[in-house]
Structure 1
Amino acid sequence: MAVQEEEGCLSQGFALIGVITVAYLAITQGWRILCGFRAHFLSHWWKPNLSQYGTWAVVTGATDGIGKSYAEELARRGFDIVLISRNVEKLQRVAEGIEQKSGRKTKIIQADFTGDVGIYTPIEEGLKGLDIGILVNNVGMTYSDNAARFLDVPNVKKRVIEVINCNVMSVLHMTNIVLPDMLKKKKGLIINIASEAGTLPYPMIAVYSSTKVFVDYFSRCLQTEYSSQGIRVQSVLPLLVSTNMTFGIKSNIFVKSSDSFAYDALNTVGVTTRTHGCLSHDLQHFFVHLFITDFILSSSATNFFILRATKALEKMGTMKKD
């Protein structure tokens, strides 16, 4: 009799645990769906009032891809734009295009973010006196044209320093330049472009993946530290976007064009401080994390797959250019 009672108690206990687990999953996933609906559907009808932050938007890595698209979209939404990148000719071309299409003012600053801390002195001088409302820390780079094991990266010692300077130090130094004035007026928006590659360990792009973890965590910490003082910090974690970094792969239901991505991502400002930018990427992130684990990513088969997938992307990009 005692044994039966004990078994009955155990059965009830396990049943209770099951109910609690199902309820927890239902609540968390329901909340996630609700947040996604708010971020990707309602935001298209009630766009954020970005003009509240200031007159100028600063965009790093602004001559190509996501950075260029952010700059153009912010200009369409009424901002004057500071474009910062290393190629003067591209800077001038993008600036002229923005002025012609939107009628907004532009300013260009040439800087190679793979360099040392000395590059930030002229940047700081160039930004003085501007009412900067938005900073988009977009500039970033991989350390190899193809996925590769760490020691197989050409000139790895030099390349790693360049990647860290570009992907990590740029975020810190640019934030250090603009944040004090934002705090004085108690308003400002900092958008940091991280990556889906920073949400799980991605072998074959190890350093890039690691730097994007930093960008995401730094953004989330900064949001907590300064949100009470009128500063909003958003971490954006895109998946595949059709840019030079993805070999110009053609946009489709899974791969967003940079213009479409920037439009969707900016609509999430004020709705969420951490976003994958668009509905397609949010759904892909959900399924990636549902089926892919650290164990799978650490397998040799995965390494092989990543190498093959990268080569396929490169080939698709080359075919498109041809």
Structure 2
Amino acid sequence: MAAVDSFQLLYREISRSCSSYFDTLALVGALYTASRAIILLSDCCTLVRVHFLPRMIPSRKLTQRYGDWAVVYGATEPVAQAYAEELARHGISIIFVTADHTGVRDTAASLSQSYGVETLIVLADFSLDQAASKPIKEALRGRDVGFLVNCVDESLASPQSLLEMPEQGLLDLVNKNVAVATLMARLVLPGMVQRSRGAVVNISSGACCRPLPGRVTLTASTGYLDHFSRALHHEYSSKGIFVQSLVPFEIATNRQQPSSSSSSSLPPSSREGWFVPKPGVYARHAISTLGVSNRTTGYWPHTLQYGLMRCIPEWIWVLGSRVLVGSS
């Protein structure tokens, strides 16, 4: 009994001497909990402000806010085609810039017939360096171009190590997704600055947020486009130009994936769902965020995905990515 009494006495003495430390730790814990709660509340308010309020509150027409014409580069991608269609739905005429007109000819004709807008296809071979800018400058002359849409090449999403890529293919991808996207902004911005209005939308990928083993070119190209957009926004927002970086996650497509057999199966990204929207659904959500947020996923379930991804430590993310790449 004496031993028990002495232990209780010792415990009381230790507790009395450490009470100030316990109070300090409790205060630190309360401050940390409060800070996380404030961050969570701020994220929820941002989610509502960016993705829900613009769709509920009517705003001025896009043609009045930015201009009558849009330049779309990378329109062979389903997301860019859907974005162009959404712009046409708002009465905006489209200029498609492409190296091969076969991929956008039907799209241009469909938009003209469905929405009564003008469409123009500009063939530009960017392998000719500065010579490719001449037809683009001619197409821009005399037109109220209020939009520029650049879209990253979706072929980068297939798992492939850097050493497996052929040298010429690597140069073409960097030229298309880095150099040409930058050049397009350089060509369109002077007219926007002169009119003190315009919007530049760069559609990259959520892959820019975290490294992905096996997809080095994807993370690098989308990372450049994302940082380029954010820097460009800070540089030209004071001149009335809104620059937006769209970083979507998985979007369903109708593309078919070639296989060794005579039949072909749809790739995993063709499976539609709540977190994998159709390109048209994504475009409607994304265009409502124009002028509201300069960097967003464009689709609120993707924003939830991005929020969860930020909570995962990078080493766990990289480990999971390696497992997925190895199993694909």
- For normalisation by structure 2, the TM-score amounts to 0.85
- 1:274 to 1:254, Cα distance in 2 relative to 1, 3 A: same
Query: Which aligned pairs between 1:127-142 and structure 2 lie closer than 5 A?
Result: 127-142=140-155
Say which one has the larger Rg. 2
Cα deviations across residues 89-127 of structure 1 (Å, max 9, x unaligned)?
332211110011000111111235577454233222222
Deviation at 1:296, TM superposition (A): 2.1
Amino acid at match of 1:94: T
Distance 1:253 1:9 in 2: 51
Relative to structure 1, is the Cα distance of residues 16 and 36 closer, same or farther in structure 2, using a 3 angstrom cutoff? same
Secondary structure, aligned partner of 2:179: helix
Which of 240, 243, 249 is the equivalent residue of 2:270? Answer: 249
Match of 1:16 in 2: 27
The one of 31, 36, 45 equivalent to 1:34 is 45
Q: Could you tell me how far 1:288 is from its partner in structure 2? A: 2.3
Tell me, yes or no, if the aligned pair for 2:248 and 2:302 is still in contact at 8 Å.
Answer: yes
Paired residue type of 1:285: Y
**Which residue number in structure 2 is paired with residue 284 of structure 1?**
305
1:1-322 correspondence to structure 2 within 5 Å = 7-49=18-60, 50-51=62-63, 52-112=65-125, 116-143=129-156, 146-153=158-165, 155=166, 157-243=167-253, 244=255, 247=267, 249-291=270-312, 293-299=313-319, 302-308=321-327, 311=328
Give deviations 1:21-50, integer Å, cap 9, x for gaps. Answer: 112111111111111012222221225532
| CA separation of 1:60 and 1:189: change in aligned 2, threshold 3 A | same
Gaps in structure 1 of 5+ consecutive residues: 312-322
Equivalent position SS for 1:253: coil
| Counterpart Cα distance in 2 of 1:273 and 1:113 | 28
Preserved contact between residue 186 and residue 231 of structure 1 (Cα < 8 Å): yes
For 1:152, give the aligned amino acid.
E
Query: Per the alignment, in what secondary structure is the counterpart of residue 208 of structure 1?
Result: helix
Structure 2 spans left out of the alignment, 5+ residues: 1-11, 258-265
| 8 Å contact from structure 1 (residues 142, 163) kept in 2 | no
TM-score scaled by length of structure 1: 0.87
* Matched-pair contact (CA < 8 Å) for 1:86–1:111: yes
User: 86-95 or 127-136: which moved more?
Assistant: 86-95
Q: Which stretch has the larger CA shift, 87-96 or 70-79? A: 87-96
Kindly provide the amino acid, as one letter, of the partner of residue 145 in structure 2.
I
Relative to structure 1, the CA distance from residue 212 to residue 15 in structure 2 (aligned partners, 3 Å threshold; closer, same or farther) is same
Distance 1:158 1:6 in 2: 71
Deviations 1:262-319 (A, max 9, x none): 110000112211111111111111222223x3212443x63231243xx4xxxxxxxx
In structure 2, C-alpha distance between the alignment counterparts of 1:232 and 1:36, rounded to whole Å: 20
Q: Give how far 1:63 is off.
A: 3.4
- Residue 262 of structure 2 is matched in structure 1 by none
Aligned residue for 2:3?
Answer: none
The 1-side partners of 2:58 and 2:295 are apart by 17
Q: Is the 8 A contact 1:143 1:159 kept in 2?
A: no
Measured after TM superposition, the shift of residue 152 of structure 1 is 2.0
Change (3 A) 1:176 1:47: farther
Question: Which amino acid in structure 2 is aligned with residue 82 of structure 1?
Answer: I
Structure 1 vs Structure 2 CA RMSD: 2.3
Query: Quick one: structure 1 residues 19 and 81, their matched pair in 2 at CA, closer, same or farther if it must change by over 3 Å?
Result: same
Partner Cα separation in structure 1 for residue 222 and residue 152 of structure 2? 12
Q: Is the 8 A contact 2:77 2:151 kept in 1?
A: no
How far has the Cα of 1:201 moved from its partner?
0.5
Sequence identity of aligned pairs in percent?
A: 31
